[in-house]
Structure 1
């Protein structure tokens, strides 16, 4: 049966892997491939339950072994552990990739909001300008309370403490400001 049936010792596989990493020795890699390829494929078949996926993962594992052979450190472990760790990591990556949802370009999270029609955008600008002019007509103490409450997002009690005025006064001035704004905006509409 030849090379595929013969067991390799730990020292032999370590020397083969070192030769692949150091010299890019194709013959040494072929021996490693014939020895570990079927083992990795069987391992992947048990995990993936799919012979085609097992074959692809085995090929990917052995290509990674070829590309990273120089990184193998015999003092940190044996070759089999290193190769099967690569295989396991590739299987985990493949599993995660399979479980990742497909990108749907029509998903509302990825579709930008429709831009407002030109007439609606123009009306919004006009409304904002009307509101700004109406706010300029408010007495200074009412305008200040509106700015603190709505632009600075402060509570009525915080405003009362900050300006050293009663809470009821804060609330009544804000109500008066709203009434004046409502009247001004209705007149200009």
Structure 2
């Protein structure tokens, strides 16, 4: 667990706006992706993320480091928020499977192998992208930079950064699909 996460959370609980921004920047993308997977609706996913951070800001929350990772606690809160939003809309929530649970303290050996294989598959696909797209993916996904920070760092317009992110993801999807169709990687 990142010590900074706990520190940021404690600062947010003390109404530190800068800490809230840092926590948001760190987790917004993963919470949105997770929320979208649960709701299958971009507007509900955005609302869920907003609700989670609003709850953290406006209500005292209990997080116990002894019970698990902060990120797992945050994902559990996000999942519950998504289900609540779906119930309000009277839609059937995503069927939560045990394998999706973030409650387990340690990944199973199977999980570790799968993550390693997926990581290698992704790295291989990224290497097939043009250099400018590789750079954008590296900065955005692996270094966690915001699109506006990438724009300043690379001295390119924000719209260009956004376009390259979209194009890179489209190309990655195509590369991975082709590799799987050729049987280079088994789909697990």
With normalisation by structure 1, the TM-score equals: 0.44
With normalisation by structure 2, the TM-score equals: 0.44
